[in-house]
Amino acid sequence: MARLVVIGNSAAGLAAIQAIRSRDRKSAVTLIAAEQHPPYSRILLTYLLSGKMTLDGVPLHGPNWYEEMGVRPLTGRRAISIDTKRRQVITEDAFKGGRSKRVSFDRLLIATGATAERPDVPGMDLPGVFCLRDLDDATAIMRHVEERLSGSRVPQAVFLGGGPVCLQTMTALADRGLKITLLVRSKAIFSQLADAKTASLAEKVLRARGIRVVKGVGVSGIEARGKSSRPASRLVVNISPGRPLSADLIIVGKGTKPNVELARGNNIKTDYGIVVDESMQTSVPGVFAAGDVAQATHCVTGEKVCYGTWTNACEQGRVAALNMVGADAEWAGGLNRNVTTLFGHTLGSVGLIREGEAAKHGNGTVAVRHYSDRRRGVSRRLLFSEGRCLGGVLWNACDDIGVLGSLINSGRDCTGWEDRVARGERLFGDALGGYLARPPIKLARMGKAP
């Protein structure tokens, strides 16, 4: 009986467990996770902050799910190192430390995710400064906000960065009545999510909602005004150029960094993330990686990149799991795909969104197709190279973003249909045919674990 170990209980790890049990009910499966919470959806945390969802709506599975899946859960235990020669994971209590314990494996999946980036400036560890990555972060933010809302004045929140999670959190807290300022270093907001025109549309929506947008500034430090241990104390954000800003709450959204520490020093190849092949296997046979920590192939560029999306993590987790139980599965490569809601509007991006990057990977030729409908407030901008769609940015017309992702991933030639694709006509998927010719997971054969 094979000993299968999964480190991490978010998207990739949970998808892996389900895939393992879909093919193999006999192998011993152990889950190692520092969090003690039942499996939950991280993408629902901003709904929790907005008050539109309670804690009861966050779990993905019931309290008996591990038992139903035949999994031994070691929750509340942190994996601190991997011994690839002895095939063991060394763990410790995530909260108390103390004596370590070893978990033996035949095949291992590292799905440790990523950690929020915090700028290296003074004051980032002060009370009232938060990142949103997990349920504990969300509940801490909720408590802090509720304390401030109980006061006599409107709480002020400052957001550093404009990534998808930051935008969703901004929307959630604005709905709670907080006064918000968004600080970005670049000259345009959402520079990683949208082209300049679409970003300007989003900025108008934010300003109309009363959000102050400050561009082209850096943060040199954060200070506490008064005693930082008091609930009524405030924070001061020092920016350059510009005057300091007062805040009751600061949300940092500067991106993430993969949690690769476990892989280092034991022959597992790492770069920015843990480098994997098409089977999601690392440089050590029988050791796999998936999710935000994995550095895997991009379906357009062919480069090894880290993804930060739930869909990619689930696909990678399934591929890794199928190979752990004896299948011959390959991941066809992924691409970034994000949809963010902003006060009744939607901003979506998929694949490559910059002309320069598209030209580099599209034989030097790029055709830009625009479509706009002012009456409906719709704007779409897609990039093509020799008939192949490479990516695009969508404003208020994101329903077909999944189809576009499949079209990009398949490499389907849609010469003559570019304008219809840009308009989002429902007909184009059927008319082109075969846009799912390259499914995200390819199976050469199925089998049981040896």
Q: What is the distance in angstroms between the CA of the first residue and the CA of the last residue of the chain?
A: 8
Q: What is the Cα–Cα distance from 121 to 364, expressed in whole angstroms?
A: 40
Whether 299 and 333 have beta carbons less than 8 Å apart is answered as yes
Confidence at residue 233, expressed as pLDDT on a 0 to 100 scale: 66
Confidence at residue 272, expressed as pLDDT on a 0 to 100 scale: 95
Q: Enter the tokens of residue 192.
A: 């990683």
Exposed / middle / buried, residue 311 (Cβ in 10 Å: 0-12, 13-18, 19+)? middle
How many beta carbons lie within 10 A of that of residue 226, not counting itself?
10
- The closest of 387, 429, 441 to 411, measured between CA atoms, is 387
Confidence at residue 426, expressed as pLDDT on a 0 to 100 scale: 65
Whether 441 and 334 have beta carbons less than 8 Å apart is answered as no
How many beta carbons lie within 10 A of that of residue 7, not counting itself?
29
Confidence at residue 24, expressed as pLDDT on a 0 to 100 scale: 95
Domains and CATH numbers, the chain: 3-114+257-331 (3.50.50.60), 118-254 (3.50.50.60), 337-432 (3.30.390.30)
Confidence at residue 236, expressed as pLDDT on a 0 to 100 scale: 95
Q: Give kind and range of the element (H or E) at residue 160.
A: strand 156-160
Confidence at residue 170, expressed as pLDDT on a 0 to 100 scale: 93
Amino acid at 262: L
Q: What is the Cα–Cα distance from 293 to 113, expressed in whole angstroms?
A: 5
Place of tokens 């790890």: 13
Q: Strand 328-331 to strand 294-297: parallel, antiparallel, or no bridges (unpaired)?
A: unpaired
Beta pairing partners, 219: 239
> 3-class SS at 323?
helix
Cβ-proximal residues to 31 (8 Å cutoff; 6+ apart), any chain: 5, 6, 9, 13, 17, 66, 71, 72, 73, 74, 75
Exposed / middle / buried, residue 88 (Cβ in 10 Å: 0-12, 13-18, 19+)? middle
Cβ-proximal residues to 402 (8 Å cutoff; 6+ apart), any chain: 337
> 3-class SS at 81?
strand
Amino acid at 38: P
Confidence at residue 225, expressed as pLDDT on a 0 to 100 scale: 82
Confidence at residue 448, expressed as pLDDT on a 0 to 100 scale: 45
Low-confidence spans in the chain with pLDDT less than 70: 226-233, 426-440, 442-450
Beta pairing partners, 74: 32
How many beta carbons lie within 10 A of that of residue 23, not counting itself?
17
Q: Enter the tokens of residue 208.
A: 């109309």
* DSSP state letters, 261-317: GGGTTTT--BSSSEE--TTSB-SSTTEEE-GGGEEEEBTTT--EEE---HHHHHHHH
